[in-house]
């Protein structure tokens, strides 16, 4: 019996591949092909249609990396084909194993009407019925396969940038024919794919498996291998009884949702994503013309906006299908962003911009967050999603965990404030399903909720330019709706699935805290310049909105709403989960650097214009404090005269050591420039563990097993070199606000200048590291060996913080060997703590450590730079300046304050005099995150604040302008059920739960 099974399986595979599949298209007649190679960047469609074409033969090379070639196809339909289905088969010469990662094309009619896309698994173009002569144009993009054959080779390559890529053609035109498509043969192919695939997935002891095997064997006997078309009908008749049995009562239920995960940039630049989206959506709308039950879901408002701007002819078809409810906008966000590193207000704006775009453009109120591929999920997300009107969350990325299997597929996810949101992880473990029997069987077997719930979602379709769902996938769905041995498959929208699944499983388990991905930990560090651009942009946007709002309210200066929206959207786009994490090709990050410079310049102009209006003309030297905390006598979010009352820092020599003292801290720096002692004078305790130093630069070998730019593997810790030798050590006391020790070091390949700074009047040590980074496959860290016994660390995330273990008691703890923090990380013991703040560093590790003599402590390290070779072989090479601080004797509140201080420096201006803040909050635990004018143009002021310490707070919010009413609103600035808040004496009293986000709309009086 076993030998019979193997024989039928082998027979089926060969017959399908070598006999049936080639017979789907028959009677080929060569086309007349001409080509035009567009110079430089892609051209408008009108230019491509009217270009000077030249004859081009099948078998001819075409397409240098990142080039565009327009092909013109002309042909005739033989009269004897009347009444048959006629198609063009046009093969660009690509590899079907690498769908979405190489050459693709979009087909147009001569009048510029989009038809569908061409890619390795969809090389056909429909010829309209009744046509005798036809002409098509194909805009073909010769994108290189940067990672190699779809196999993720991760070899260094110059292909990742048009500036470094070679110019030799990549592809050879393989086929250009007009053919008859035999629908009966195509139907037979789908029958055998479904039945044969199901047969292979059923257990050997299941009688249904053997029924299928024998039926398929008999059907293959009925097939004439020399006349597939002539025998296809009788072969299908033999197979028909195998489809007659309905699914079992216990069969798993699958909501199949058409989808194409299109990375907004990754192994291609942003400009190419615009075309990938156009190709895929053209494919989808063409399929909808012939499959009335087909429903397709597309995320990312940015991608809709792209086709509306750049491919309006495609967008018109999309809009028609959206109105029908078959093309479904999902996700609620501007892009499928990273959620680990995106800042608090930026995370809000992802939803605000996304949901408002979908509502305004299409009248659709999206209800789900759709992030199948982001690299872990912040514990702040449930509250943010719920406040944005999101009911459901979907991802499958946690199935990529390297060590621990996540225990649920359907559950309630609880965030740091206690908010819960219905969450589903598709057990099919892919967002690019082909609806094969193998994948559906895996979904049913893998589903963790068996016996308690019965529904899961399967996103099906080729992504990243692969064209999305195919007619073959839809044919499988038709056959798998009610088939014995298979899950029941229904074509659904996401909303249909979520509504059904939520009702199906009312007593769901709860997962509390972050959804940490046990993979891709290197994305907290790769491409430091991109991360710096994001962090700087987020804080400049805060400043621009704050001072533009102040100027509008106080002086009537026009609020630059359109400019701010455009800049916000630009920053949100670059928070996509392969841009901000540093996992895209060199071209993407080169362009990102230039974009961030433009964003900085334009925001600085907004800030300068607004501040000029706010402070007025005058001779007074002032400083602007955009932080939510008072500083140096200047109120939070106000303008005042600086106060410098602290004594100067003293510098003395003790032997070969340099001692710096500001009355709060006493630092000892040895002859090699190592900070070996920090004495906290206020608490009379040494901060550092004996034998350690602060800001110690450490160089690790960094050679992950795969996923170079993405991964840091645990074995990186096995090889480390402490950079404790100095080229020179110089003390600088000329800065006026403290004293610096300037230390020059080298790794051998890289040169580093480290500034150790003790400022006046602060229990803080500042570090600036200037680096000419030339190491490869290495990671640079900065370490602090702290005499603090902490079994957990606190890391800032959006609107709060999370605690993580510093030990490795469980495999879950051990897997968090690299963690993400925003502006600060804190470790403490009862009564004493230390914080490390940073200006643009996200990767950290925190471990328990033991000093000489057995004294327990904690080591905190920042991950400063990496140097992976793929997909960008020049990752991070060049000059960087990285800043961080050690805050001594700090509680969580101090960490919050100093994190803002590190990222929002005081600005010097000259004007008429001090300016009171627009908004004042009395309790330092309550932080103002944003002050802006309302989105609707009413002139109302929106203030967003949150409880930052994880406790409860009651405080007053006051304002320095006439306010007629205060309304609590959601993140889209819609009134919440609580309604209006009573205004008393220029302010309101509010109460906040731990980590609660509160948005107040102040209607001006």
| Cα-based distances in Å from 286 to 243, 293, 315 | 28, 13, 13
Task: Give Dmax (Cα) for the chain.
Answer: 102
Note whether 266 and 143 are within 8 A (CB).
no
Note whether 328 and 353 are within 8 A (CB).
no
DSSP designation for 971: T
- Taking residues 822-851, what's their average pLDDT? 96
pLDDT, position 980:
60
- What is the distance between the alpha carbons of residues 413 and 432, in angstroms, rounded to a whole number? 24
pTM, rounded to two decimals: 0.97
Estimate to the nearest angstrom the gap between the alpha carbon of 239 and the chain centroid.
45
H or E element at residue 489: strand 488-491
pLDDT at 44 over 60: yes
Of the candidates 335, 337, 320, the residue with the CA atom closest to the CA atom of residue 281:
320
**pLDDT tens, residue by residue, 869-906:** 999 999 999 999 999 999 999 999 999 999 999 999 99
For 963, other C-beta atoms within 10 Å of its C-beta total: 19
Helix (H, G, I), strand (E, B) or coil at 875: coil
- What is the distance between the alpha carbons of residues 59 and 495, in angstroms, rounded to a whole number? 47
pLDDT at 123 over 70: yes
| Cα-based distances in Å from 745 to 527, 696, 723, 749, 752 | 22, 11, 7, 11, 5
**pLDDT tens, residue by residue, 74-119:** 999 999 999 999 999 999 998 877 788 899 999 999 999 999 999 9
pLDDT at 150 over 60: no
**pLDDT tens, residue by residue, 761-804:** 999 999 999 999 999 999 999 999 999 999 999 999 999 999 99
What's the whole-number average pLDDT of the chain? 96
φ and ψ at residue 252, rounded to 5 degrees: -65, 145
pLDDT, position 4:
72
**pLDDT tens, residue by residue, 920-972:** 999 999 999 999 999 999 999 999 999 999 999 999 999 999 999 999 999 99
What residues are labeled active site? 373
Q: Residue by residue, what is the 3-state secondary structure of 634-681?
A: ECCCEEECCCCCCCCCEEEEECCEEEEECCCEEEEECCCCCEEEEEEC
pLDDT, position 864:
98
Going 274 to 276 to 280 to 283, the CA torsion angle's sign is positive
Number of H helices, E strands in the chain: 19, 53
Band (pLDDT 50/70/90 cuts) for residue 267 is very high
**pLDDT tens, residue by residue, 188-234:** 999 999 999 999 999 999 999 999 999 999 999 999 999 999 999 99
Of the candidates 39, 796, 647, the residue with the CA atom closest to the CA atom of residue 347:
796
Q: Rg of the Cα trace of the chain?
A: 31
DSSP string, 258-321: EE----SSSSS-HHHHHHHHHHHHHHHHHHHHH-TT--EEE--HHHHHHHHHH-HHHHHHHHHH
pLDDT at 392 over 70: yes
H or E element at residue 45: helix 45-49
Estimate to the nearest angstrom the gap between the alpha carbon of 338 and the chain centroid.
3
DSSP designation for 462: B
Please give the share of the chain, as a percent, with pLDDT higher than 70.
Answer: 99
Note whether 791 and 830 are within 8 A (CB).
no
Q: Decide the pairing of beta strands 296-298 and 253-259.
A: parallel
- What is the distance between the alpha carbons of residues 966 and 988, in angstroms, rounded to a whole number? 8
Tokens matching residue 703: 């050679």
How deeply is 714 buried, as exposed, middle or buried, from its count of CB atoms within 10 A (0-12, 13-18, 19+)? middle
φ and ψ at residue 62, rounded to 5 degrees: -155, 160
Of the candidates 573, 619, 632, 578, the residue with the CA atom closest to the CA atom of residue 598:
573
Q: Which residues pair with 880 in a beta bridge?
A: 771
- What is the distance between the alpha carbons of residues 904 and 535, in angstroms, rounded to a whole number? 11
């Amino acid at each position: 019996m076993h030998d019979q099974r193997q024989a039928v399986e082998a027979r089926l595979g060969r017959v399908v591949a070598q006999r049936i599949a080639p017979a789907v298209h028959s009677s080929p007649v060569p086309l007349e092909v001409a080509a035009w190679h567009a110079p430089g960047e892609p051209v408008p469609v009108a230019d491509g249609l009217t270009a000077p074409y030249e004859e081009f033969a099948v078998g001819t090379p075409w397409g240098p990396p990142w080039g565009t070639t327009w092909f013109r196809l002309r042909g005739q339909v033989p009269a004897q084909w009347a009444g048959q289905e006629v198609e063009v088969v046009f093969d660009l010469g690509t590899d079907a194993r690498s769908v979405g990662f190489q050459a693709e094309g979009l087909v147009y009619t001569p009048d510029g009407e989009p038809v569908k896309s061409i890619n390795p698994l969809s090389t056909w173009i429909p010829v309209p019925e009744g046509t005798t002569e036809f002409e098509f144009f194909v805009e073909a993009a010769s994108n290189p396969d940067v990672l190699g054959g779809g196999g993720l080779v991760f070899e260094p390559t110059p292909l990742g940038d048009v500036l470094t890529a070679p110019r030799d053609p990549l592809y050879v035109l393989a086929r250009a024919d007009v053919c008859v498509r035999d629908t009966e043969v195509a139907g037979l192919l789908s029958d055998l794919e479904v039945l044969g695939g199901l047969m292979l997935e059923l257990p050997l002891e299941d009688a249904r498996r053997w029924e299928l095997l024998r039926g398929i064997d008999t059907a293959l006997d009925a097939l004439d291998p020399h006349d597939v078309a002539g025998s296809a009908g009788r072969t299908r008749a033999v197979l028909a009884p195998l489809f007659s049995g309905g699914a079992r009562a216990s069969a798993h239920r699958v909501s199949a949702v058409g989808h194409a995960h299109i990375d907004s940039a990754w192994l291609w630049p942003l400009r190419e994503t615009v075309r990938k989206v156009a190709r895929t959506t053209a494919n989808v709308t063409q399929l909808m013309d012939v499959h009335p039950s087909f429903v397709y879901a597309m995320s990312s408002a940015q991608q809709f906006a792209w086709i509306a701007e750049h491919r309006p002819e495609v967008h018109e078809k999309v809009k028609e299908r959206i109105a029908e409810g078959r093309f479904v906008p999902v996700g609620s966000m501007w892009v499928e962003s990273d959620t680990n590193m995106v800042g608090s207000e930026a995370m809000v704006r992802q939803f605000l911009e996304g949901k408002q775009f979908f509502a305004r453009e299409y009248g659709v109120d999206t209800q789900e967050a759709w992030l199948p591929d982001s690299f872990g999920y912040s514990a702040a997300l449930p509250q943010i999603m719920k406040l944005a009107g999101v009911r459901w969350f979907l991802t499958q990325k946690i199935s990529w965990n390297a060590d621990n299997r996540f225990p649920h597929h359907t559950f309630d996810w609880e965030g740091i404030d206690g908010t819960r949101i219905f969450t589903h992880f598709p057990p099919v473990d892919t967002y690019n399903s082909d609806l094969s029997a193998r994948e559906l069987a895996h979904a049913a077997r893998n589903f963790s909720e068996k016996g308690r719930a019965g529904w899961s979602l399967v996103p099906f379709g080729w992504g990243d330019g692969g064209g999305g769902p195919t007619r073959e996938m839809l044919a499988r769905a038709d056959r798998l709706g009610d088939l014995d041995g298979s899950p029941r498959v229904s074509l659904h929208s996401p909303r249909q699935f979520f509504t059904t699944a939520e009702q199906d499983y009312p007593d769901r388990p709860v997962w509390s805290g972050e959804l940490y991905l046990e993979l891709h930990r290197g994305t907290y560090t790769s491409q430091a310049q991109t991360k710096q651009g994001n962090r700087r942009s987020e804080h400049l946007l805060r400043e621009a909105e704050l001072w533009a709002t102040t100027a509008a309210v106080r002086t009537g200066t026009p609020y630059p709403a359109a400019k701010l929206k455009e800049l916000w959207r630009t920053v949100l786009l670059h928070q996509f989960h392969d841009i901000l994490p540093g996992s895209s090709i060199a071209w993407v990050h080169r362009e990102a650097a230039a974009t961030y410079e433009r964003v900085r310049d334009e925001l600085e102009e907004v800030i300068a214009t607004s501040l000029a209006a706010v402070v007025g003309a005058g001779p007074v030297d002032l400083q602007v404090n955009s932080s939510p905390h008072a500083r140096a006598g200047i109120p939070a979010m106000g303008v005042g005269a600086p106060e410098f009352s602290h004594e100067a820092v003293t510098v003395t020599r003790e032997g070969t050591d340099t001692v710096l003292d500001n009355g709060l801290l006493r630092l000892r720096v040895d002859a090699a420039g190592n900070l070996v002692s920090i004495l906290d004078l206020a608490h009379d305790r040494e901060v550092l563990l004996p034998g350690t130093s602060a800001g110690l630069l450490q160089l690790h070998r960094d050679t992950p097993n795969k996923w170079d730019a993405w991964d840091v593997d645990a074995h990186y810790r096995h090889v480390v070199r402490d950079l404790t030798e100095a080229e020179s050590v110089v003390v600088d006391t000329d800065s006026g606000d403290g004293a610096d020790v300037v230390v020059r070091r080298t790794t051998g390949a890289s040169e580093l200048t480290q500034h150790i700074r003790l400022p006046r009047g602060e229990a803080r040590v500042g570090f600036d590291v200037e680096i000419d980074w030339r190491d490869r496959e290495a990671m640079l860290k900065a370490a602090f060996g702290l005499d603090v016994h902490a079994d957990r660390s606190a890391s800032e995330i959006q609107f709060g913080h999370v605690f993580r273990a510093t030990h490795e008691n469980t495999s879950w703890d051990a897997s968090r060997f690299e963690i993400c923090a925003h502006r600060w990380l804190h470790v403490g013991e009862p009564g004493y703590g230390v914080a490390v703040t940073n200006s643009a560093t996200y990767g950290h590790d925190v471990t328990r450590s033991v000093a000489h003599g057995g004294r327990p402590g904690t080591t905190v390290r920042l991950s400063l730079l990496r140097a992976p070779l793929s997909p960008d072989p020049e990752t991070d090479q060049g000059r960087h300046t990285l800043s961080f601080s050690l805050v001594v004797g700090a509680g969580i509140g101090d960490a919050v304050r100093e994190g803002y201080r590190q990222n929002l420096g005081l600005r010097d201006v000259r004007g008429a005099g001090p300016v009171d803040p627009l908004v004042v909050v009395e309790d330092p635990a309550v932080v103002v995150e944003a002050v802006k004018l309302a989105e609707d143009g009413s002139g109302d002021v929106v203030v967003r604040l949150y409880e930052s310490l994880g406790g409860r707070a009651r405080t007053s919010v006051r304002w320095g302008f006439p306010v007629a009413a205060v309304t609590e609103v959601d993140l889209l600035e819609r009134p919440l059920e609580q309604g209006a808040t009573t205004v008393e004496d220029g302010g309101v009293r509010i109460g906040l739960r731990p980590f609660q986000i509160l948005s107040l709309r102040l209607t001006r009086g």
